[in-house]
Amino acid sequence: MSAIPAALDGATIPGGCDTCNAEQRIREEQPGIWAIGIAHDDWCPTWQRIQARRQAISDTFRP
């Protein structure tokens, strides 16, 4: 039995960011392994900060 109902696989839920109209997207990556991603608006300052931090990390380190 999964703690997350299978009906949520592929669901889009409004919210997830205080500065834009983001959406949370839920999907089951593998049986029992779930991922929740946040899709920000392109103009979102929070998203722009996240992107800037990612670009500042050296090319030798990519998680």
Number of structural domains the chain divides into: 1
Reference 40, options 27, 49, 32, 29; nearest CA is: 49
Residue 63 domain flag: no
Q: Is residue 15 a contact partner of residue 27, using CB atoms and an 8 Å limit? A: no
pLDDT score of 19:
95
Q: What is the tens place of the pLDDT at every residue in 4-32?
A: 777 888 899 999 999 999 999 999 888 88
Residue 61 domain flag: no
Residue 19 domain flag: yes
Domain containing residue 47 = 6-56
Q: What is the tens place of the pLDDT at every residue in 30-48?
A: 888 889 999 999 999 999 9
Rounded to whole angstroms, what are the CA distances from 48 to 13, 55, 57? Answer: 21, 11, 15
Three-class SS of residue 3? coil
pLDDT score of 4:
74
Q: What is the pTM of this model?
A: 0.68
Residue 47 domain flag: yes
Residue 14 domain flag: yes
